Amino acid sequence: MRGIVPLLERWLGNLLARQFEGRNSEGIAKTVTKQRVESHYDLQLRAAVMHDILDMMPESIKQQIEDDLATHVRSLAMLNILWKVPGMSTAIENIILRYIKSKTDWCCSVAHYNRERIRHGATVDKAVVKKNLGCLTLEQERQHDYLKDGPYISAEEAVAIYTATVHWLESRKFSPISFPPLNYKHATKLLVLILEKLKEAYSVKVESVPTRRLALIEQAYDNPDECLSRIKRLLLTQIV
């Protein structure tokens, strides 16, 4: 019975308020729930694509084009048909490709974010875990296809891209950032100070920090020289 009395009081209060004051039709709409975030993003993305395409059309045929586009997009989504058709304008194709890239980047960032949460032991919904596994599986298949059929850029195109990049950097008078000296005498002291700041920050919210991360900080604090050499080795050997 605990909790029933306040619930009934609230229900009766709302009922009496509606009877005497009427319904409040000017209430502020609630924000999008977590379950509707992705579908809301898809709808906004589709509306943005339609808006950009219709801006290129004259006013006389805009309504007819909008109906045809909506029907075409709906049929493509339901039947899983390629959106590109013969005779499509290059400007429209570039608009669609731009929004496809934005959708892809958003999906990749969400997949990486959820994978980090899962890896660090955060509380994640089962549906999110399944969807994240599906995204990673698709990405793995894409990489296997690239290894089998790629590279998709020819040698001539790669040379042209590299040459254009070099010329652009030269025109901007770009100077490469040199790597810090390996025998910098204050490097270990700076690393110890950083580790102390991390320990202070994590000691405040110790319940939300994974045990493995705290153990790594303690290990680096006990052996700062070894940790510093490992950091420099990773910086020198990582692939950018």
Rg (Cα) of the chain, in Å, rounded? 28
pLDDT over 70 percentage in the chain: 83
Length of the chain: 240
Looking up tokens 């899983």 gives 80
Burial class (CB in 10 A: 0-12, 13-18, 19+), 114: buried
- Name, of 57-71, 149-163, 205-219, the range with top average pLDDT: 149-163
pLDDT at 159: 94
Helix axes 126-149, 90-119, angle to 10 degrees: 120
| pLDDT band, very low/low/confident/very high, at 164 (cuts 50, 70, 90) | very high
Cα gap 221→199, rounded to integer Å: 9
Average predicted confidence (pLDDT) for the chain: 79
Cα gap 102→96, rounded to integer Å: 10
| pLDDT band, very low/low/confident/very high, at 169 (cuts 50, 70, 90) | very high
pLDDT for 9-22, tens place per residue? 888 888 878 777 77
| pLDDT band, very low/low/confident/very high, at 161 (cuts 50, 70, 90) | very high
| pLDDT band, very low/low/confident/very high, at 125 (cuts 50, 70, 90) | confident
pLDDT at 31: 57
For residues 75-97, give the mean pLDDT.
76
Q: What separation in angstroms does the CA of 160 have from each of 80, 110, 165, 231, 239?
A: 35, 33, 9, 35, 22
pLDDT for 31-57, tens place per residue? 555 556 666 777 777 777 778 878 877
pLDDT for 183-224, tens place per residue? 777 888 888 888 888 888 777 665 555 677 778 888 888 888
Q: Is the pLDDT of residue 27 over 60?
A: no
- Tell me, yes or no, if the pTM score tops 0.85: no
